[in-house]
Structure 1
Amino acid sequence: MSINRREFLKYAGLTCIGVGVGGAQLFVARVKPAFSDYKAADYSLKAKRWAMVIDLRKFKTEEDYQKVIEACHSIHNVPDFGDDKQHEIKWIWTEDFEHSFPHQQNKFIPKSVEEKPVLL
């Protein structure tokens, strides 16, 4: 029986796919997920989503903002590259209220809060 190159490549490709799928099934059957060995402690927190609320009315001076920024950077180990803007890492910083929430208008927000910087 004589086969041409096209048929040979077709059979070779199907053979490779068959061997690959069979080998993958053997590999998957042997490996079990790493997280199946661990379970959460009974006392662990059960929340699905977390948020942080900052009361802007308590910030009076620029030093108040800097204290929060420094605490956050030290806890999260954010490196300080000084004034090098090319390598700057923005983890938490201050921004104008209108730049922070450009599409949110609320007539009940006091002007004093709108004029203060916001932590992002």
Structure 2
Amino acid sequence: DDDFKLDQVYDVLLAKFAKRNIDVRSIERGDAQKISGNKSKQELKLKVGIESESAKKIVRILKDSKLKVQGSIQGEEVRVTGAKRDVLQDAIALLRKQVTDIPLQFGNFRD
């Protein structure tokens, strides 16, 4: 009905995202709009994938780290390949430490 309730719904949504291990930085909040009467609505956009500039930055970090991994940009994702699981885990730790401005999600890897 009003901006206060809109903020309360947004807080509940953030709690649900956190419970499902979805990074809340992937949500873009639009402007609140008044619709008929005293009702309000707000558009939220969920970011999926990595922009090309950020992907290039991630690949550059991996190359500069001297780890024995290779990063390749495939569409909206960066695929990292390495010979050993330990090296891949080191690459994940490095990226979690150095890339803080965008939400990262790490998919399944195998030996």
Shorter-chain TM-score above 0.5? no
Give TM-score scaled by structure 2 length.
Answer: 0.25
Larger Rg: 1
- Larger strand share, 1 or 2: 2
Give TM-score scaled by structure 1 length.
Answer: 0.24
